[in-house]
Amino acid sequence: MRNEGTVTAITAKGLTLALCAAGVIGGAVGALAVNHNNAAAEVAPPALAASAPAPAAVPAPPIAAGAPAATVTLPDFTRIASTNGKAVVNIRVVGGIKTANRGNVPEIDPRHPLYEFFRQFQDPRQGGGGGRGAPVFGAGSGFIVSPDGVILTNAHVVQGADEVTVKLQDRREFRAKVLGTDPRTDVAVLKIDAKNLPTVPMGQSRSLLVGEWVLAIGSPYGLESTVTAGVVSATGRALDDNVVPFIQTDVAVNPGNSGGPLINTRGEVIGINSQIYSQTGGYQGLSFAIPIDVAIKIKDQIVATGKVQHAKLGVSVQEVGQAFADSFRLESPEGALVSTVERGGPAERAGLKSGDVIRRVNGRAIVASSDLPSIIALSRPGERVALDVWREGKLVRLDATLGDASEKPKRAAREDLAQAPDNSARLGLALRPLEPIERRQSGIPAGLVIEDASGAAAIAGVEPGDVLISVNGRAVTSLDQVRDLVAKANKSVALLIQRGSDRIFIPVRIG
């Protein structure tokens, strides 16, 4: 799936991400996210209004005067709802007050104007401190994937739950066992003691097309077996630091839909409804589902071993914008720019360096930098991957054996390349070599100290005190090297700087 860009919460305008589990009271205002699945009070369901069913075929306007009217056939949602709805379940959880408050009552400053609003949902026996106190109830959705009672849902639905109850559409209820959860992908697997249960067929999310009809079944606000429909708005969405390439839809998903299936017009599950963007805590046209291809990988690991392993490459990456593309002589601003390489990690052993731009992994294009973490994290430790890397104006092939993401990273390698400015007016930097005592104190073996930044460099965000390590992927230790590299550059240069303990690339336009 092609990544269509990274979505970020615009908290300044009150837009924030919320996990769509049932029972959330109120919503998110400003930068406050009301998320997760537990609720401290019941919510009255919204009033229901009668509406006429949509016709099976809608006449389309004539293409030209006098031309016969065409018809557009709509999918038969009634068949899908009646068949697949039998395998969709309602999930109720019971957890202690300490667990519940972590999910839906934010810890905010008592001086905040919304403090009293959120405080009303806390159990008075909690007293603002520790202890589990009275139980709190939450809810979500899920769906049966095998006749012997294996159920898929979201990890945040059952997070910290002491007791999980599954209610089938035929009104039978079962105590469920949590076989395992994976917070990184927000997938959980449950098991109930039952046989010959209805199941939903699995589809392939990688074949989804933007504009395709889909529908969701779940229990928004506790209204069981609710069906909503819409279209696929985008695929491969990256949300914040999540490794999941989400499916974005305009299907109405609300608190309580979490863990429910997203279904295509062939009646196949192609996603698990997981998150929404909202100013109020309710649906506002942006819903996100975990691709079923991802969820099945996680489910198979949990069923087999009870846990999930994620792979790692051992690099930090940045987005490749137009300025970086110009600096590295790339035809298009695509790929993942390596800023740091973990010492002794898989990337370093494979020969990756800071300043490399990863363009493909096993033949799959890396368009945005967020494509790389999702491909790597959803692989297994020990897998070998082929990396197509842009280095010094040409493509090179590197092979890496992936490590285990659960292992603690070692200190980032200091031998990576960096971007360095020069003393010329084109960059607006005043530079000097690192003194021996500065090298010892900082741990930086070589580089140039920025004593002053003005002009293009200052506009780009370079600051006095930064240490500049390389220009366009070429390590620099003298002003002459910087002048030479800047003279050869065209529109911009990519500077790798060290600021405190962080290394970041900064593109500086000079043309």
User: CATH number of the domain that 399 lies in?
Assistant: 2.30.42.10
Looking at the structure, do residues 283 and 370 belong to the same domain, yes or no?
no
Reported as a single tens digit per residue, the pLDDT across 265-284 is 999 999 999 998 888 878 88
Domain boundary among 346, 370, 404: 404
Q: How many CA atoms lie within 13 A of 75 on its CB side?
A: 16
Query: Is 416 domain-assigned?
Result: no
Query: Is 124 domain-assigned?
Result: no
Reported as a single tens digit per residue, the pLDDT across 159-206 is 888 999 999 999 999 999 999 999 999 999 999 999 999 999 999 998
pLDDT exceeds cutoff 60 at 410: no
- Measured in degrees and rounded to the nearest 5, phi and psi for residue 158 equal -110, 10
- Measured in degrees and rounded to the nearest 5, phi and psi for residue 44 equal -65, 130
Looking at the structure, do residues 301 and 349 belong to the same domain, yes or no?
no
Looking at the structure, do residues 293 and 266 belong to the same domain, yes or no?
yes
Give the C-alpha separation, 133 to 130, whole Å. Answer: 9
Annotated ligand binding at 256? The verdict is yes
Looking at the structure, do residues 223 and 88 belong to the same domain, yes or no?
yes
Query: Is 143 domain-assigned?
Result: yes
Q: Which of 205, 219, 233, 258 is catalytic?
A: 258
Reported as a single tens digit per residue, the pLDDT across 78-137 is 999 999 999 999 999 998 544 433 334 344 445 444 444 444 434 443 444 444 455 667
Under a CB-based contact definition with an 8 Å cutoff, are residues 361 and 385 in contact? yes
Under a CB-based contact definition with an 8 Å cutoff, are residues 208 and 270 in contact? yes
Query: Is 205 domain-assigned?
Result: yes
- The whole-number pLDDT of residue 318 equals 87
Query: Is 396 domain-assigned?
Result: yes
Query: How many structural domains is the chain composed of?
Result: 3
Q: Which of 36, 182, 186, 470 is catalytic?
A: 186
Looking at the structure, do residues 318 and 301 belong to the same domain, yes or no?
no
Which residue range forms the structural domain that includes residue 195? 1-41+80-119+133-306
Annotated ligand binding at 258? The verdict is yes
Looking at the structure, do residues 301 and 269 belong to the same domain, yes or no?
yes
CATH assignment at residue 148: 2.40.10.120
Give the C-alpha separation, 409 to 436, whole Å. Answer: 28
Query: Is 246 domain-assigned?
Result: yes
> Does the annotation count 332 as an active-site position?
no
Annotated ligand binding at 36? The verdict is no
Domain boundary among 306, 327, 355: 306
- The whole-number pLDDT of residue 5 equals 43
DSSP state of 55: P
Looking at the structure, do residues 354 and 469 belong to the same domain, yes or no?
no
Looking at the structure, do residues 157 and 221 belong to the same domain, yes or no?
yes
Burial class (CB in 10 A: 0-12, 13-18, 19+), 241: exposed
Give the C-alpha separation, 426 to 429, whole Å. Answer: 9
Looking at the structure, do residues 351 and 472 belong to the same domain, yes or no?
no
- The whole-number pLDDT of residue 68 equals 55
Query: What is the value of pTM for the model shown?
Result: 0.66
- The whole-number pLDDT of residue 492 equals 84
> Does the annotation count 480 as an active-site position?
no
Looking at the structure, do residues 182 and 213 belong to the same domain, yes or no?
yes
- The whole-number pLDDT of residue 112 equals 46
Q: Which of 156, 219, 369, 379 is catalytic?
A: 156
Annotated ligand binding at 211? The verdict is no
Query: For residue 66, what pLDDT band results from cuts at 50, 70 and 90?
Result: low
Measure CA of the first residue to CA of the last residue in the chain; give whole Å: 35
Give the C-alpha separation, 40 to 99, whole Å. Answer: 11
Query: Is 192 domain-assigned?
Result: yes
Give the C-alpha separation, 21 to 258, whole Å. Answer: 5
- The whole-number pLDDT of residue 12 equals 34
Under a CB-based contact definition with an 8 Å cutoff, are residues 362 and 311 in contact? no
Q: Where are the beta strands (DSSP E) in 402-456?
A: 403-404, 429-433, 448-453
> Does the annotation count 186 as an active-site position?
yes
The proportion of the chain whose per-residue pLDDT surpasses 70, expressed as a percent, equals: 73
Report the run of H or E that residue 43 belongs to, with start and end. Answer: none
Under a CB-based contact definition with an 8 Å cutoff, are residues 424 and 510 in contact? no
Query: Is 48 domain-assigned?
Result: no
pLDDT, average across residues 378-389: 93
Other beta carbons within 10 Å of 158: 24
Looking at the structure, do residues 468 and 399 belong to the same domain, yes or no?
no
Looking at the structure, do residues 288 and 390 belong to the same domain, yes or no?
no
Domain boundary among 263, 285, 306: 306
